[in-house]
Amino acid sequence: MSIPAPTDHLAPAIHVRGLEKSFKQLKVLRGVDVDVARGSIFALLGSNGAGKTTVVRILATLLKADRGEARVNGFDVATHPVDVRESISLTGQFAAVDEILSGRENLVLVARLRHLPDPGVIADDLLRRFSLTDAGARRVATYSGGMRRRLDIAMSLIGNPPVVFLDEPTTGLDPEARIEVWHAVKELADGGTTVLLTTQHLDEAEQLADRIAILHEGRIIVNGTLDELRRLLPPGEVVYVEKQPTLEDVFLALVGAGTDKEQR
């Protein structure tokens, strides 16, 4: 698959202005403005029903906006949906993997569907990158939730799309599996891919994102780096507090972040 070259290489990977969307009487998006720089990780936060998935679906050309402008990889989602689709991948909350096939067979199948040369080589490379080599020959039905999610993200990367949408990539995963997915996402951005992820886990945004935006009542109410967001609140008073380990610290210390992930 050849990915269409954007018309303007300096333009942000994602550019959204005045995006509006209603479902009947329900005004979900009331004028969303966002820019995402190329090669960066951008986290979109918001409560249940804030409209995060709606934004992602519009950007992925699965849903039409009522008003406003959205460009992905330089292409307008309304006028150039095919170019947009060839520039992106979308991983939703529910893994789109085939249970009957093995992990490797899933990857080979997608590479074939995309008419790429050497599907086996592509599959083996992705299995390695996502620490699934040992499990590659096993049926996906036997995989843990974290392994499925990693395989799902790996499948979405076939063809190296420059822009990746991850809608709640770690919802339902245990702490170790989340960390594994985070590593995979960081690697993607290090390789130059632009990542827009939605999450309700604030620590996920803290760990991963170069910039964080909060969607609330149909608009982006803040957008900045973690430091910029922190500065929005008055500096904390200095008080002596004995630092207790978090439950996550305890869990990871007991279970061990370094256990062989193929076994889970």
CB 73 within 8 A of CB 163: yes
In this complex, which beta carbon is closest to ligand ATP, that of residue 160 or of residue 223?
A: 223
Question: What 3-state class would DSSP assign to 98?
Answer: coil
* Alpha-carbon gap, residue 76 to 78, rounded angstroms: 5
Instruction: Report in angstroms how near the CB of residue 198 gets to ligand ATP at its nearest.
Output: 6
Work out which of 14, 53, 193, 209 binds Mg ion, going by CB under 5 A. 53
Give dist(CA 31, CA 216) in Å, integer: 11
How far from chain centre, in Å, is Cα 115?
24
Task: Measure the CA–CA gap between 29 and 108, rounded to whole angstroms.
Answer: 38
**Going by DSSP bridges, is the β-strand pair 26-36/14-23 parallel, antiparallel, or unpaired?**
antiparallel
**Of 48, 79, 244, 263, which lies in the binding site for ligand ATP, with binding defined by CB under 6 A?**
48
16 binds ligand ATP (CB under 6 A): no
Token pair 């009522």 is found at: 66
Contacts of 48 (CB under 8 A, 6+ apart): 200
**23 vs 94 by CB, closer to ligand ATP:** 23
- Which window, 50-58, 138-146, 183-191, 233-241, contacts ligand ATP (CB under 6 A)? 50-58
Closest CB to ligand ATP among residues 52, 85: 52
Q: What are the phi and psi torsion angles at 118 (to 5°)?
A: 55, 55
Region near Mg ion per CB under 5 A, out of 52-60, 130-138, 152-160, 216-224: 52-60
Tokens of 231: 């500065």
Residues 68-107 that bind ligand ATP (CB under 6 A): none
For the bound state, the minimum distance from the C-beta of residue 200 to Mg ion, rounded and expressed in Å, comes to 9
Dihedral pair phi/psi, residue 158, rounded to 5°: -65, 130
Residues 191-230 that bind ligand ATP (CB under 6 A): 200
Closer of 54 and 73 to ligand ATP (Cβ): 54
Q: Which helix (H) or strand (E) holds 120?
A: helix 119-129
**Which residue among 14, 28, 151, 154 contacts ligand ATP (CB under 6 A)?**
28
Phi-psi region of 217 (alpha: psi -120 to 50; beta: other; left: phi over 0): left
Task: Give residues 136-165 in contact with Mg ion (rule: CB under 5 A).
Answer: none
Site size with ligand ATP, rule: CB under 6 A: 12
| Nearer to ligand ATP (CB atom), residue 171 or residue 207 | 171
Chain position whose Cβ is nearest to Mg ion: 53
Residue 53 interacts with ligand ATP (CB under 6 A): yes or no: yes
- Site membership for Mg ion, residue 54 (CB under 5 A): no
Q: And the tokens for 250?
A: 């305890």
Binding site for ligand ATP (CB under 6 A): 23, 26, 28, 46, 48-54, 200
